[in-house]
Amino acid sequence: MSAGSVASTAATSPGELLERQADRLRERPFLRCGEGQWVSYAELDERSTRTACGLRQLGVSPGDRVAILAANSVEFAECIFACSKAGAVQVPINSYLRGSFLQHQLLDSGARVAITDGEGRSTLEGLGDATRIEKIVVIDQDAGDGTGDVTLSQLRETNGPLPSLEPTPADLAAIMYTSGTTGPAKGCMLPNGMFIDPAAVYATAGFIVPGDRVLTPSPMFHMGFQGGMLMTALANDASLCLLEQFSASRFMPLARAIGATVIFGVGAAAVAILRQPRQAEDAAGRLRCAIWVPLPGDQADEFEDRFAVPTIAEAYGQTEAITIALAAVDEDRQRQCAGSPNDLTEVAILDDQDRQVGAGEVGEVAVRPRRPNVMYTGYWNQPDASVAAISNLWHHTGDLGRLDDAGRLWITDRKADSLRRRGENVSSSELEEAIRRYPAVEDVAVVGVPSAMSEQDIKACIHLSPGQRLAPGELFGFFRSELPYFAIPRYVEFVEELPVNAVGRVRKDILRQMPLAADAWDFEEMGYAVSRSERR
């Protein structure tokens, strides 16, 4: 591991890590959003300390949950570190959520303070009194005028020392929601150690090393960003440029303009970049590596050849365990492999009785920590779900895979019935519940189908109530108003009945195998879409 990485900081929380690195690196550029100005280590440290003081003056006590609902920005990062310094638990929420999806996470987390931007403020207003939010901090300078809300700039002006805290790696740092199949999204309880220790693993693999300048399109409400990029760049003396909005046509020119040495994000972004016209300068710049996960092997090879940069798509993790396996930048990579387990977690392949199977045999991927505080500690307010997921001391990922003779992990399929689209997990049951609220819908089942953009597109198989008919624009309008844009089904297929098993459970395996009906609706081909300006 390179000198200056997290191993030399001995920090116990994100806030303490920033303080220690700011003392060392002072005015070195650390963070930037898009084409804005770089913010130094010292400036972000000073701003986040004042914001932490403001949160305490606002009534936030250690252990209180603070929701963050906002687009990517330097201010978002400021609030992440401010929560840590105040001892609060950050609850970063997907900024595209609306309706019941958003309401559930706000209510379930018990957050009484929300930090948001102007668009998020409007979304919160749409929920009325259906949350426990009592105080709102608005990031935008003028968005709080006349509303009684506090602006972030006002919060920073609070006078008074920050009460002394002694954080530990075991303290709860965040609740991040991840979608599954058996109900609404579950809140993963993430300790401080999960934000600190993975940085050494990423540094050893060569993902981010001292002196790097990283460009990412990833959303800040994801653990992939916070644990894999923000904290790793901070711990390893690097600089990080994030984007408020991703543009495939502008991404690589920006990488060249800022002198990026690393680009890091989800595979769907790489696919969009590859669809842009080739340019003479594609292979120019200072890039040391590109990390796009997940990404099919042929597209990873295409990206590597076109942009003349080692391209890593071999990595695997979850919100519950941010880094389970990965391939190092300088090793011989095997496409479609998920890499090798690292020294934070132990990986096993289990059969249906939780017995380990032999090398090459397929079973459920399970993982457990090799040392304390490097994985989630359970699901917030859901002890039964926590016990079910961590049976026999193993966290069950819901993915099927195998370990080869060399110990490399290969993911073969998804065991659980969940969906993943454009880098976002979508709860099938939560989506079905929302669609059933439409008056003409008797029943619905949603399944994932292969997508040219990697991962999946969503197909909704709808059984209409007797005598009901639907027009495409009518149904799409409902989807647009009630669903996050990434959860809107691309395909709608009407069925006379849904196939069920002996106990009445829908046979989604049958629905997945059925070819798309000739009369199915393809909203993309029909020209229905949610524009960027309408996504929030």
Three-class HEC string of 229-277: HHHHHHHCCCEEEECCCCCHHHHHHHHHHCCCCEEEECHHHHHHHHCCC
Q: What is the pLDDT of residue 454?
A: 65
For the segment 14-30, the average pLDDT, to the nearest whole number, is 97
Residue 308 falls in which region: left (phi positive, over 0), alpha (psi -120 to 50) or beta:
left
Higher pLDDT, 3 or 232: 232
- Residue that is written with structure tokens 């297929």 in the block: 493
What is residue 501's predicted lDDT score, i.e. its pLDDT? 62
Longest Cα–Cα distance in the chain: 71
Q: How far apart are CA 359 and CA 198, in angstroms?
A: 27
Element (H, E) at 522: strand 521-522
Is residue 482 within 8 Å of 99, Cβ to Cβ? yes
- Predicted pLDDT of residue 2: 44
User: What does the alpha-carbon distance between residue 87 and residue 5 come to, in Å, rounded to a whole number?
Assistant: 24
List, in sequence order, every beta strand (DSSP E) within 293-391: 311-312, 315-316, 325-326, 340-341, 345-350, 363-369
Residue of 146 and 526 predicted with greater confidence: 526
- The token duo for 329 is 């930048």
CA dihedral 321, 389, 173, 221 (to 10 degrees): 70
Token output for 487: 């959860």
What is the per-residue pLDDT for 144?
53
Reply yes or no on whether the pLDDT at 8 is more than 70. no
Q: Residue 1 pLDDT > 50, yes or no?
A: no
Answer whether residue 339 shows pLDDT above 80. Answer: yes
Residue pair 493/525 in contact by the 8 Å Cβ criterion: no
pLDDT, one tens digit per residue, over 150-201 is 999 999 998 777 878 899 999 999 999 987 555 688 999 999 999 999 999 9
Q: Under DSSP, is residue 172 helix (H, G, I), strand (E, B) or coil? A: strand
> For 286-313, what is each residue's pLDDT tens digit?
999 999 998 888 899 999 999 999 999 9
pLDDT of 451 above 50: yes
Stated pTM of the model: 0.83
| Spatial contact of 151 and 141, defined as CB atoms under 8 Å apart | yes
Q: Residues 6 or more apart from 391 whose CB is under 8 A from it? A: 354
Residue 82 burial (10 A CB sphere; 0-12, 13-18, 19+) = buried
Mean pLDDT of the chain: 90
Find out whether 295 and 267 touch, Cβ atoms under 8 Å.
yes
Q: Which run of H or E residues covers position 464?
A: strand 456-464
In sequence order, what are the residues at sequence separation of 6 or more whose Cβ sits closer than 8 angstroms to the Cβ of residue 523?
472, 476, 488, 489, 490, 491, 492, 529
For 287, the token pair is: 């890039």
Peptide bond into 294 cis (omega under 30): yes
User: According to the model, what pLDDT value does residue 370 have?
Assistant: 95
- pLDDT at residue 88 greater than cutoff 90: yes
Per the CB < 8 A criterion, the answer to whether 362 and 402 are in contact is: yes
Asked whether the predicted pLDDT for residue 416 surpasses 80, the reply is: no
What's residue 187's pLDDT? 96
* pLDDT for the residue numbered 40: 98
Q: For the chain, list the domains and their CATH numbers.
A: 6-195 (3.40.50.12780), 243-414 (3.40.50.12780), 421-534 (3.30.300.30)
Q: Quick one: pLDDT band at residue 133, thresholds 50, 70, 90?
A: very high
CB atoms within 10 A of CB 277: 6
